[in-house]
Amino acid sequence: MAEFKSKLNKGHAFTSKCASLVKEQRARLYILRRCATMLCCWYIQGDE
C-alpha cells in the first residue's frame, strides 16, 4: 500500500508542476498579447 501512495504523490507532483508551468505560459502569452495590442493601437493612432 505504501508503494501505491508514493506513486500517487509522484503523479500529483508531476501534475502540479505541469499545471504551474501552463499557468505561467498563459500569463506570458496574456502579457505579450496585451503589449502587441497596445503597440498596434499606438501605431494606428499615430498615422492620423
Tens digits of residue pLDDT in 18-48: 999 999 999 999 999 999 999 999 988 887 6
The per-residue pLDDT for 8 is 55
The per-residue pLDDT for 6 is 55
Domain boundaries, the chain: 1-48
**24's grid cell:** 505561467
Half-sphere exposure of 33 (CA within 13 A, CB side): 6
Looking up cell 500500500, which residue turns up?
A: 1
The more confident residue out of 1 and 34 is 34
pTM value is 0.61
The more confident residue out of 48 and 13 is 13
The per-residue pLDDT for 23 is 97
Alpha carbon distances (Å) from 30 to 2, 15, 19, 33, 43: 42, 22, 16, 5, 20
